[in-house]
Chains A and B, each alone.
Chain A
């Protein structure tokens, strides 16, 4: 445990050292709240309520999105991809370290500083946007939030890890990264709450882990989801956790056997 804590600290120090990269991540996280509300403002000129969301609720949805995203999001595929392609992965074949836990600890090391910047920006713009937001009264459902976040962080990381590990089998990893980016933009509710989609799509999403990564925590914050539905999604999430766990194990086992490094 101690060694992973050290890796977490290294990840944090990396975030401090590579401020340019950190700033870009923060900008990327903030992009949605700055831009997409205007698209929806235009649409709400013709509607008062869409799928139980009024305009204020919608603005709150986008306002809180970066906060939820910064907690759950994982970009580990970039590091995994380059380590596989550059041969850096060889280090982990001989070290007494679990590569997946190493990546998880390092990734978590970036989160506090990213979160700090995002919260700072959110607080700075709060007085400006407050009249457009609907802040719900805190409910008991908020107690479920830590559990949802923990599962969301792990699931997001597992998916990003799988995306990265595909590099063992492909010459280039950009297509799978792009594929995941497209899939996540659509399935996680970046463009609009999933409740805006046709019912059959919502039903399909109900059997996937995607809502837990962004949508469910957001809807708990906005108090637009029932406790029963959260519990159901947690069960689905746990099943996916098990599936992803096995997939990662298998990929790592098979993939690391394929490593062929030419070097010193």
Chain B
């Protein structure tokens, strides 16, 4: 069983690489566009810190670190899931989901992992270099234990991202043309680059529960810099598991009520 899934997943990766190799022009343009985006994020931080020395106790270096961790988690998510998940509304509108449902493999696995975006991987690697430079430049004093937990929390961030984007796209079973939901998620996610302490209590709760954007950067960096308690780390793992469980349940619920749009 697992072997079958691994074999299929390997084919998805190979397809991802052949796609990038086939459309090299697009790949380079996307890479350029992304580098421009990263530059804009850093310029924004510079603009903010040209007016202040810290934001609610977070200095420039720590905010840079938040931005880099956020980009790393985001690129991992983009590489592994975004291409597939953002396609769900179109699959439903065009009636192509039928093809996924009749295959002898989990339909959720197919709609989640079919399209691997290799370009996200290039950007992920670029960010690892930036991360290394940042650590070297600003001399963060952190223990190996903190680094290990932070790496795990980045995985949790990707897991949470996957679940919430899946849940949002499942709504297209009921509201046909909501393909723009992924743009909204993208805009909302970008707010995860700011320290949680900025927001009032209500928004803090929302960002840790209903709209979980605090997971993508704040929790990993707050843990790395010793600002996030151990029970907060535990909460992150439990929440990721719970949200994933909810997403799977919601998918199964939606599939049962799906009526094909194809002829």
Q: How far is the CA of A20 from the CA of B47 in the complex (A)?
A: 36
Q: CB-CB < 8 A to B25: which residues of A?
A: 170-171
Q: How far is the CA of A19 from the CA of B174 in the complex (A)?
A: 11
Asked if residues A43 and B55 are in contact (CB atoms below 8 Å), the reply is: yes
Q: CB-CB < 8 A to B194: which residues of A?
A: 39
For residue A27, give the distance in angstroms from its CB to the closest CB of chain B: 6
Asked if residues A31 and B188 are in contact (CB atoms below 8 Å), the reply is: yes
Asked if residues B30 and A186 are in contact (CB atoms below 8 Å), the reply is: no
* Selected contact of B184 from candidates A19, A24, A39, A42, CB within 8 Å: A24
Contacts A20-B176, A38-B200, A196-B47; A178 near B33 (Cβ below 8 A): yes
Q: CB-CB < 8 A to A139: which residues of B?
A: none
For residue B215, give the distance in angstroms from its CB to the closest CB of chain A: 17
Asked if residues A20 and B177 are in contact (CB atoms below 8 Å), the reply is: yes
For residue A65, give the distance in angstroms from its CB to the closest CB of chain B: 13
Asked if residues B26 and A175 are in contact (CB atoms below 8 Å), the reply is: yes
Asked if residues A182 and B37 are in contact (CB atoms below 8 Å), the reply is: yes
Produce 1/0 per residue, B226-262, CB < 8 A to A: 0000000000000000000000000000000000000
Q: CB-CB < 8 A to B191: which residues of A?
A: 31, 35
Q: CB-CB < 8 A to A174: which residues of B?
A: 30
* Selected contact of B56 from candidates A21, A42, A182, A185, CB within 8 Å: A42
Asked if residues B40 and A182 are in contact (CB atoms below 8 Å), the reply is: yes
A200: interface (CB < 8 Å): no
The number of A-B residue pairs with CB atoms under 8 Å apart is 101
Residues facing B in A174-221 (CB within 8 A) are 174-176, 178-179, 182-183, 185-186, 191-192, 196-198
Produce 1/0 per residue, B2-33, CB < 8 A to A: 00000000000000000000010110011011
For residue A114, give the distance in angstroms from its CB to the closest CB of chain B: 12
Q: CB-CB < 8 A to B125: which residues of A?
A: none
Q: CB-CB < 8 A to B48: which residues of A?
A: 39, 43, 192
* Selected contact of A191 from candidates B30, B47, B52, B183, CB within 8 Å: B47
Contacts A24-B181, A38-B200, A174-B30; A182 near B36 (Cβ below 8 A): yes
Asked if residues B23 and A182 are in contact (CB atoms below 8 Å), the reply is: no
Produce 1/0 per residue, B33-60, CB < 8 A to A: 1101100100110011011111110000
A interface residues, how many (CB within 8 angstroms):
38
* Selected contact of B53 from candidates A38, A46, A185, A191, CB within 8 Å: A46
B198: interface (CB < 8 Å): yes
B140: interface (CB < 8 Å): no
Q: How far is the CA of A132 from the CA of B42 in the complex (A)?
A: 29
B interface: dominant SS: helix
Q: CB-CB < 8 A to B52: which residues of A?
A: 43, 46-47
B138: interface (CB < 8 Å): no
Q: CB-CB < 8 A to A185: which residues of B?
A: 40
Asked if residues B176 and A50 are in contact (CB atoms below 8 Å), the reply is: no
* Selected contact of A176 from candidates B33, B40, B51, CB within 8 Å: B33
Q: How far is the CA of A24 from the CA of B191 in the complex (A)?
A: 17
Q: CB-CB < 8 A to A176: which residues of B?
A: 29, 33
Q: CB-CB < 8 A to A28: which residues of B?
A: 180, 183-184, 187
Q: How far is the CA of A21 from the CA of B93 in the complex (A)?
A: 13
Instruction: Give A179's nearest chain B residue, CB to CB.
Output: B33
Q: CB-CB < 8 A to A46: which residues of B?
A: 52-54
Produce 1/0 per residue, B151-194, CB < 8 A to A: 00000000000000000000100111111110110011001001
Contacts A42-B198, A43-B48, A196-B51; A24 near B178 (Cβ below 8 A): yes
Q: How far is the CA of A21 from the CA of B180 in the complex (A)?
A: 7
B133: interface (CB < 8 Å): no
Q: CB-CB < 8 A to B175: which residues of A?
A: 18-21
Q: CB-CB < 8 A to A83: which residues of B?
A: none
28 contacts across the A-B interface (CB closer than 8 A): A19-B175, A20-B171, A20-B175, A21-B177, A21-B179, A24-B178, A24-B180, A24-B181, A24-B184, A31-B191, A38-B199, A39-B198, A42-B198, A43-B55, A46-B54, A47-B52, A170-B26, A170-B29, A175-B29, A176-B33, A178-B34, A178-B37, A179-B33, A182-B33, A182-B36, A183-B36, A191-B47, A198-B50
**Which 5 A-B pairs give the minimum distances between C-beta atoms?**
A20-B175, A175-B30, A179-B33, A182-B37, A20-B178
Seed contacts A24-B178, A24-B180, A179-B37; 5 additional CB < 8 Å A-B pairs: A18-B177, A31-B188, A78-B179, A170-B25, A186-B40
Interface residues of A (CB under 8 A from B): 18-21, 24-25, 27-28, 31, 35, 38-39, 41-43, 45-47, 50, 75, 78, 170-172, 174-176, 178-179, 182-183, 185-186, 191-192, 196-198
